[in-house]
């Protein structure tokens, strides 16, 4: 059992988070995460309206009496999103933990904090994490370059980014990107993090609301089976490697390419409908991290969490046993030269 600032301040059993995942952050998965003692986030914008979000919160509460939160991703969109209405729905539903991502959470913080809501903000750089801390968020989820989704433009992996963030932040830090095992949890804690965030690992679970083909593909894939797209548009995104994502990467690398050139292939609606729902693995883009190479089976959420905790305990015990207890090996004796 691990006790950290994060588990204490956010009232959860294990320092493991299932952050917001578009199309996946719904009641069946998030209630299972909560029941396993971790912290999961419904994704607000997966629901078509604020009213539908309230209903999804109710469904989740029917399945668990443990803490869970709501993710509110703030991004520019072609069709305006009624963020104020989603925020109001979250507050009125009595949610006490929110994960924000994308643009600055500052406009939403007064209402959230007035309602007693703790806010975790996702950042991809130390400078953005510091900015969010100054604005008043309660914790930072720091995304390394290995992560699925948007890793930012700095290409800094977790082994460097996590301790760099921990060094300058005073609020709890959640290590995100590249975590799928107990060894990863142990490493993140050793680097100073207070918890870990996992997305791809939770996709390959019984409760994840995606087609079985997606889960099987994650298990079959290696750490090399991702592609970073949209780099030319300053909106880098890591997705699973397939024919569509490779086409998007190739088109985007052409001189003068614009997002309009790849938009039909890169459509999120297409990815959710063709891949996540129908299991047509080469018919759309879908998010996945380099942790695919660390995931070797589809399992229940409860088993995943319990295995990660027990493996982390063993990893830490193993390292502890090496401190001051390394057996001294005899030195090689070199015969004197003649």
SS3 of the chain: CCCCHHHHHHCCCCCEEECCCCCCCCHHHHHHHHHCCCEEEEEHHHCCCHHHHHHHHHHHHHHCCCCCEEEEEECCCCCCCCHHHHHHHHHHCCCCEEEEEECCCHHHHHHHHHCCCEEEEEECCHHHHHHHHHHCCCEEEEECCCCCECCCCCCCCHHHHHHHHHHHCCCCEEEECCCCCHHHHHHHHHCCCCEEECCHHHHCECCCCCCHHHHHHHHHCCCCCEEEECHHHCCCEEEECCHHHHHHHHHHCCCCCCHHHHHHHHCHHHHHHHHHHCCCCCCCCCECCHHHHHCCCCECHHHHHHHHHHHHHHHHHHHHHHCCCCCCCCCCCCCCCC
Question: What local confidence, expressed as pLDDT, does residue 328 receive?
Answer: 46
pLDDT above 50 for 220: yes
Residue 333 has pLDDT above 60, yes or no: no
CATH 3.20.20.70 placement within the chain? 5-209
pLDDT tens digits, 46-71: 999 999 999 999 999 999 999 999 99
The CA distance from 240 to 218, in Å, is: 9
| pLDDT at residue 167 in the model | 98
Mean pLDDT of the 28-50 span: 97
Range 78-91 average pLDDT? 92
> Which residues does residue 123 pair with via DSSP β-bridges, in sequence order?
142
Q: For residue 267, name the pLDDT band (cuts at 50, 70, 90).
A: confident
Asked whether the beta carbons of 241 and 229 are under 8 A apart, the reply is: no
Whether the pLDDT of residue 11 is over 60: the answer is yes
Beta bridge partners of 140: 121, 173
Model confidence pLDDT, tens digit, residues 155-208: 999 999 999 999 999 999 999 999 999 999 999 999 999 999 999 999 999 999
Q: Supply the pLDDT for residue 80.
A: 87
Task: State the pLDDT at residue 326.
Answer: 53
Let me know if domain 5-209 sits in CATH 3.20.20.70. yes
């Amino acid at each position: 059992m691990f006790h950290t600032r994060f588990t204490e301040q956010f009232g959860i059993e294990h320092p493991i988070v299932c952050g917001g995942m578009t199309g996946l952050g719904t009641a069946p998965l998030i209630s299972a995460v909560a029941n396993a003692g971790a912290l999961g986030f419904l994704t607000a914008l997966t629901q078509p309206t604020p009213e539908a979000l309230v209903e999804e919160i109710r469904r989740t509460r029917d399945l668990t009496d443990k803490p869970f939160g709501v993710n509110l991703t703030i991004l520019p969109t072609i069709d305006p999103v009624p963020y104020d209405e989603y925020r109001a729905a979250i507050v009125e539903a009595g949610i006490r933990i929110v994960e924000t991502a994308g643009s600055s959470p500052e406009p939403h913080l007064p209402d959230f904090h007035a309602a007693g809501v703790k806010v975790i903000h996702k950042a991809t750089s130390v400078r953005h994490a510091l900015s969010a801390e100054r604005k008043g968020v309660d914790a930072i989820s720091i995304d390394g370059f290995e992560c699925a989704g948007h890793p930012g433009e700095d290409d800094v992996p977790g082994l460097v980014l996590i301790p760099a963030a921990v060094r300058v932040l005073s609020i709890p830090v959640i290590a995100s990107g590249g975590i799928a095992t107990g060894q990863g949890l142990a490493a993140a804690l050793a680097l100073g993090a207070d918890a870990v965030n996992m997305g791809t690992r939770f996709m390959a679970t019984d409760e994840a609301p995606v087609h079985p083909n997606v889960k099987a593909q994650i298990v079959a894939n290696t750490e090399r089976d991702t592609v970073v797209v949209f780099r030319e548009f300053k909106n880098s995104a890591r997705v699973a490697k397939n024919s569509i994502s490779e086409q998007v990467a190739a088109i985007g690398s052409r001189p003068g390419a614009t997002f309009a050139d790849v938009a039909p292939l890169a459509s999120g609606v297409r990815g959710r409908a063709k891949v996540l729902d129908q299991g047509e693995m080469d018919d759309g883009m879908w998010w996945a991290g380099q942790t695919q190479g660390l995931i070797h089976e589809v399992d229940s959420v409860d088993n995943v969490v319990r295995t990660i905790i027990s493996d982390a305990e063993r990893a830490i015990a193993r390292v502890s046993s090496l401190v001051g207890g390394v057996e001294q090996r005899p030195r090689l004796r070199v015969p004197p030269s003649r």
